[in-house]
Structure 1
């Protein structure tokens, strides 16, 4: 097969080998083009209907099946995927495919936003009280330091600039333990044997009255990690502040998913057993997105509310291998508080070398 083209030097002919000539003739056939278009439409339709069925079944299946709950980590990404399928279906889909794609978009958006309209602190409703936060609030910073992160300067600089009253850390190696001990203005530290406390640490401007590991007894004897419970003496007549520092397993496989769920069950029971008048903060790396039924179950059982409210939550867990782009991550570091406390501000801090971003919460009392 030969073809030619015109340029400034005249007509140039190209001779293709017989094998390539047959391939070119095949792709130039109208029948092949029509079949390719038909296959593409079928694949688009199959993908849209699969996503619709998956979305409908995923929510009730999340409490029973690991993969279904794992999808909750990527709920904003599912919304984006659904919208992309909707756009493509408008251009090339059948009428039924367009209808299914529109249902997928609406359903995923509803599931994402509706969950966030659940047990959270309404920032607008609380705005009137925020003006009275001056002198009646504390600042808390919680961060997963990341075991492989050996650069301490950025996080220590963040603490110095934010000047929090309480700092909670997870994955606190000996390097980090020594570095945090050198911070000025924090005379009260949790037990230095962080390896016995799942590598978690607290430093505080206020006295730590008590510190204990919530073991749960024989019922939770198979649990590998445990929450830490602290009582902090506050400069107010309202009594001590109860702080739970947590870091359950990352649910990367079914066994660790079960460990995380057992951890959250123990945490729920421990917090629910606190006196009704207790002022409680639960903070740390939950390894649980807000769309997970296990996170929602904790809030319903305890009556606590998440401080991070809004129709779109910023990621706190980022992926360093993907360039640490926040949008590609998911929000799993939370601060939740009891009814006796209120939100005076909630922010996500900057990158500091970890695969998590720090959370900065101003809590009124």
Structure 2
């Protein structure tokens, strides 16, 4: 076997292992990290296949396995990513043009800006300018310390309802709201240094909606050696969201990608919908490196909403791009009927994750 054939054989084995290792239900970070780069692995598999077809002309055992392996990896990656392209049906229906001009519909809208600002970032003016330009009803700031809390004080006259909890461990959260807020709660669901927010927001039409702001700890060599605590927090929020009859929005940096097993489990447990499905990836991380980007910042909504607008905002000095979304409470017509639902295995897995996280 020639050296070039050996090279492509070794390359294909590495790409295939990286593509499928995430199927292992193991919580250690060095397994879960492979949930993220499916788009990058697709490109690497494609490049490997092209190189094989150009430079290799002898298809002897085990040479012929290379294009099969790389093709299988590409098909699997496509299966994961295609839902977040325009060829897939949307999960959250768009607002109809005929509806958007009707009286009272603007009173049923809510706009939300999410920004993981990177605690060490000091481009405070960029966030203030973005807030002024978009003028959202709700602003959720993640990774905020006391310096950020003070720097964003110019927002306070415009956002009379606030829940501010700056921290120096990159898990501080600041919630600013123009809408009235009822029963605001700062909660530590799993870990005593990782907060989340639950509040009821009152829209201009008087409708109450539940808002959850989340930022669980990621599995990584510098943060946590496993994903159990992150997964358990998402499961707990998902359970609570499913029990609520009022409209629900869950937003934040989940430290997980949209297509991962954990995020899809969260959707089935919660019954919530992803407005990116059928519209785009909206990769929010890493803002400085285009070749390692994936969707970490999420907005999930209950069946009650239609989508008015969703957009990734320009970089503001952080390693995350902010996200902006405008939603409208949905009329009874055209409400999605194929909502995510958990099966017995999902419920059992969810219970195991929460129990394991609480035991440790």
TM bucket normalised to smaller: 0.7 to 0.9
Q: 1:213 aligned to 155, 178, 186, which one?
A: 186
The aligned runs of 1:74-113 (5 Å cut-off) are 74-93=37-56, 94-95=58-59, 96=64, 97-113=66-82
Q: What is the CA deviation profile of residues 69-118 of structure 1, one whole-angstrom value per residue up to 9, with x for unaligned ones?
A: 2112111101111111111011123441333333322222223225779x
The aligned runs of 1:263-342 (5 Å cut-off) are 263-273=233-243, 275-276=244-245, 278-310=246-278, 312-318=280-286, 324-342=288-306
Shift of 1:305: 0.8
Give the SS at the match of 2:141.
Answer: strand
> With structure 2 as the length reference, what TM-score do the two structures score?
0.79
1:145 aligns with 2:117: yes
Q: Work out which of the two has the higher radius of gyration on C-alpha atoms and give 1 or 2.
A: 1
What's 1:247 paired with?
215
Cα gap change, 1:302/1:54 in structure 2, threshold over 3 Å: closer, same or farther? same
Partner Cα separation in structure 2 for residue 199 and residue 180 of structure 1: 14
Shift of 1:186: 1.3
Partner Cα separation in structure 2 for residue 130 and residue 153 of structure 1: 38
Q: What is the CA deviation profile of residues 232-272 of structure 1, one whole-angstrom value per residue up to 9, with x for unaligned ones?
A: 1222243x121111111122135352321222222223323
Note if contact 1:63-1:294 (Cα within 8 Å) is conserved in structure 2: no
Cα gap change, 1:340/1:333 in structure 2, threshold over 3 Å: closer, same or farther? same
What's 2:358 paired with?
none
Q: What is the CA deviation profile of residues 194-237 of structure 1, one whole-angstrom value per residue up to 9, with x for unaligned ones?
A: 33994101111111111113444xxx4x5542321011122224
1:154 aligns with 2:117: no
1:171 aligns with 2:126: no
> Between Structure 1 and Structure 2, which shows a larger proportion of helix residues?
1
Q: 1:229 aligned to 198, 201, 210, which one?
A: 198
Partner Cα separation in structure 1 for residue 147 and residue 98 of structure 2: 38
Partner Cα separation in structure 1 for residue 145 and residue 112 of structure 2: 21
Cα gap change, 1:351/1:120 in structure 2, threshold over 3 Å: closer, same or farther? farther
What's 2:325 paired with?
361
Partner Cα separation in structure 1 for residue 11 and residue 119 of structure 2: 39
Shift of 1:178: 1.6
Note if contact 2:84-2:276 (Cα within 8 Å) is conserved in structure 1: no
Cα gap change, 1:120/1:301 in structure 2, threshold over 3 Å: closer, same or farther? farther
Partner Cα separation in structure 2 for residue 300 and residue 225 of structure 1: 24
Partner Cα separation in structure 2 for residue 225 and residue 193 of structure 1: 11
Partner Cα separation in structure 1 for residue 55 and residue 203 of structure 2: 63
Report the RMSD for the aligned CA atoms in angstroms.
2.8
Note if contact 1:120-1:306 (Cα within 8 Å) is conserved in structure 2: no
Q: 1:126 aligned to 86, 94, 97, which one?
A: 94
- Structure 1: gaps spanning 5 or more residues: 1-34
What's 2:16 paired with?
52
Partner Cα separation in structure 2 for residue 115 and residue 307 of structure 1: 9
1:187 aligns with 2:160: yes
Q: What is the CA deviation profile of residues 296-346 of structure 1, one whole-angstrom value per residue up to 9, with x for unaligned ones?
A: 101011100112223751321115xxxx13342221000111111121111
What's 1:3 paired with?
none
User: Which has the higher relative contact order, 1 or 2, with Cα contacts under 8 A spaced 6 or more apart?
Assistant: 2
1:69 aligns with 2:38: no
Note if contact 1:130-1:344 (Cα within 8 Å) is conserved in structure 2: no
Partner Cα separation in structure 1 for residue 309 and residue 296 of structure 2: 18
- Structure 2: gaps spanning 5 or more residues: 330-360
Give the SS at the match of 2:234.
Answer: helix
Would you say how many aligned residue pairs link Structure 1 and Structure 2? 315
The aligned runs of 1:340-351 (5 Å cut-off) are 340-351=304-315
